[in-house]
Amino acid sequence: MDKALVERVIEICTRAGEAILEVYNSSAELEVDTKADDSPVTAADLAAHAVLAPALAQLIDGVPVLSEEQEMPPFAERSQWQRYWIVDPLDGTKEFIRRTGEFTVNVALIDNGEPVLGVVHVPVLNITYAGAKGGAGSGESIAFKRDAQGDQQIGARPLQPRLDAGEAVELVASRSHGAGAVDQLVERIEADLGAVACKNMGSSLKLCLVAEGAADLYPRLAPTCEWDTAAAQAVVEAAGGIVVDDQFQLLRYNRKDSLLNPFFYVIGDPSYNWRDLLTN
């Protein structure tokens, strides 16, 4: 994957993050509207979209942009797309409204249903996670985290050495969704593997923690949309992890009319036999 392309996407996401922060740091009262699906939308969502959509459309000739904050093309049109950008201008709008700082700008490049490049930018922290997959003729995969100290290569971590050392399985989960099902899963993991340490947070940051080796598992047992996950999935998989659905198939995109994802698991160590534990 072309590192120069990754850098251009990071620059665009950073500008979108600056547009978000203008709203976030404003003294004006935040106005929240509700979309047709009852999800919230703010001026920050729209400001980020206004930066991202035209800039991404110019990056690669003929590659369209699919953003949460635009009218959705019908599947008959989308199904013809080999490659496209998928964008969540502000992932974690509820966290934005609560002012937790746990919200992100998400951009991914999808190629034949697979997220092959992803950038997740965290405006409040000015941290960016980026990943791009290697492939035939495209070199090795790259995955890194950029902060005030510069770039650090990241990688998902193996699980067995932690289990051998008696360390807890570290799990991340949504602060807002699916808590009951996750609690039941934690009980199963504890019965099989021992202690589980669970951390709750919002947005696609949860996937990024797995990608950088700060967590072992993120179970998502509640609804999400494709733009919520694509960018961070690219980072996770470039870092050596996987994202699989509840049938343990790799999560793929633009395969159906609905943009809803199935329930899924973000796994840091694909060599560990998670399937038996998670699908029983």
SS3 for 148-206 is CCEEEECCCCCCHHHHHCCCCEEEEEECCCCHHHHHHHHHHHHHHHCCEEEEEECCCHH
- Token representation of residue 183: 């609690």
Dihedrals phi, psi of 134, to nearest 5 degrees = -80, 170
Report whether 68 belongs to an annotated binding site.
Answer: yes
Q: Annotated binding residue at 192?
A: no
- Could you tell me the sign of the dihedral formed by the alpha carbons of 48, 54, 58, 63, in that order? positive
Residues in Cβ contact with 52 at an 8 Å cutoff, skipping those fewer than 6 apart: 12, 13, 16, 65, 67, 87, 89, 105, 107
CA 10 – CA 105 distance, rounded (Å)? 10
Is 37 annotated for ligand binding?
A: no
Consult the annotation and say whether 147 binds a ligand: no
Counting Cβ atoms within 10 Å, is residue 153 exposed (0-12), middle (13-18) or buried (19+)? exposed
For residue 29, give the DSSP letter. P
Ligand-binding site membership of 92 (annotated): yes
Q: How far is CA 102 from CA 214, 253, 272, 276, in A?
A: 16, 25, 30, 32
46 is in an annotated binding site: no
- Is residue 45 a known part of a binding site? no
Q: Are the C-beta atoms of 131 and 236 separated by less than 8 Å?
A: yes
Q: Phi and psi of 42, rounded to 5°?
A: -125, 175
Which residues contribute to the annotated binding site? 68, 88, 90-93, 228
Which residues contribute to the annotated binding site for Mg(2+)? 68, 88, 90-91, 228
Which residues contribute to the annotated binding site for substrate? 68, 90-93, 228
